Amino acid sequence: MPSEPRFTFAPPATVFVPVVGQDTLFPVHRIYCVGRNYEEHAKEMGFTGREPPFFFLKPADAIVVAETDQTATIDYPRQTSNLHHEIELVVAIGTGGRNIQAADAHKHIFGYAVGLDMTRRDLQNDMKKQGRPWCIGKAFDQSAPIGPITPAAQAGDIARADIWVQVNGVDRQRSNISKLIWNIAETIEHLSAAWDLQPGDLIYTGTPEGVAAVKTGDVMDGGVSGLTPIHVEVVAA
C-alpha cells in the first residue's frame, strides 16, 4: 500500500475565487492574459492593425479576490513608479480542451468575472525595448485582482456588455466588450491551439484604452455590466 506523500514543507494553498449564487469555490489553475486586444488601446501603446492574438501568463497566486461589496487592497508594488490599471473581462474555463474551435468555445466556459491586469508599466516598457520577457512588468505579486465569478448562464449578453473602471470616482476606462479585436470564442480557439486548457484556467481578455497610473490611496471601481463590480484600493506596502 502506498504511503501518504510527505512534503519537504507544507504545499501552498489552492488559490480560489468565489462563485456568485453558489457555495462552491472556483479553484484557479493558470492565468492567461491577452495582449493588445482593443484597437484604441493598441493605438495608445503605439501599435495599429489587427495582429494575431498573443498571450502572457501570471502566476495563479497573483490573484487578489475582491469580495462583493468590500474593498480589497493591493500593496503598491516595489521597483515601479508607474503602476497602471487595466480593466478586463475575465473568462473562467470550466471544461478543458485543446484545439477548441470558436464555434464550440462556449461549451468550455464556466463563467465570467471582472479583473484588473495591474502592470508595472515602466518595467514592462524597459523589457519591451530590450526584447526581454514581460514577467517583471506583468506577473508580480497581487497583480491580478478579480471579483466573484458569475456562471455564464446568469451573465447576460456578455459579448455586448459595457466595461469600465473609475479611479477615485472619475472615469478612466470605458468601452464595450463588442470592441474586442479577438472575441471570447476566437481567443479560446487561439489559446487552446497553443496550450491544453484546463478547468480552473482564467483568461484576462485584454483592456480597452485609457490605461493610466494609480498611486497609494487610490481606489479603483471596476465593472462589466451583468457581473459583480470590484473595488480595489492601492495601499502602502
Main-chain phi, psi angles of 5, to 5 degrees: -65, 145
104: CB partners within 8 A, 6+ apart: none
The nearer residue to Mn ion, 192 or 205, going by C-beta atoms, is 205
Decide: helix, strand or coil at residue 127.
Answer: helix
8: CB partners within 8 A, 6+ apart: none
Task: Tell the smallest beta-carbon distance from residue 18 to Mn ion (Å).
Answer: 23
| DSSP strands (E only) in 30-184 | 31-34, 55-58, 63-65, 71-75, 83-85, 87-93, 109-116, 119-120, 144-146, 150-151, 162-167, 170-176
Instruction: Give the total of residues touching Mn ion (CB under 5 A).
Output: 3
The nearer residue to Mn ion, 86 or 201, going by C-beta atoms, is 86
Task: Tell the smallest beta-carbon distance from residue 130 to Mn ion (Å).
Answer: 20
Task: Tell the smallest beta-carbon distance from residue 117 to Mn ion (Å).
Answer: 3
The nearer residue to Mn ion, 150 or 207, going by C-beta atoms, is 207
The 3-state DSSP composition of the chain as helix, strand, coil percent (nearest 5) reads 20, 35, 45
State which of positions 51-110 bind Mn ion (CB under 5 A).
Answer: 86
The nearer residue to Mn ion, 18 or 206, going by C-beta atoms, is 206
Task: Tell the smallest beta-carbon distance from residue 69 to Mn ion (Å).
Answer: 26
The nearer residue to Mn ion, 19 or 117, going by C-beta atoms, is 117
* Three cell numbers written together for 167: 479611479
* Site membership for Mn ion, residue 117 (CB under 5 A): yes
The nearer residue to Mn ion, 86 or 189, going by C-beta atoms, is 86
Helices (H) and strands (E) in the chain, counts: 4, 18
| Residue among 61, 40, 42, 63 at smallest CA distance from 149 | 63
Nearest residue (beta carbon) to Mn ion: 117
Task: Tell the smallest beta-carbon distance from residue 116 to Mn ion (Å).
Answer: 9
State which of positions 144-183 bind Mn ion (CB under 5 A).
Answer: none
Candidate residues 207, 214, 227, 228; the one interacting with Mn ion per rule CB under 5 A: 207
Could you list the residues that contact Mn ion (CB under 5 A)? 86, 117, 207
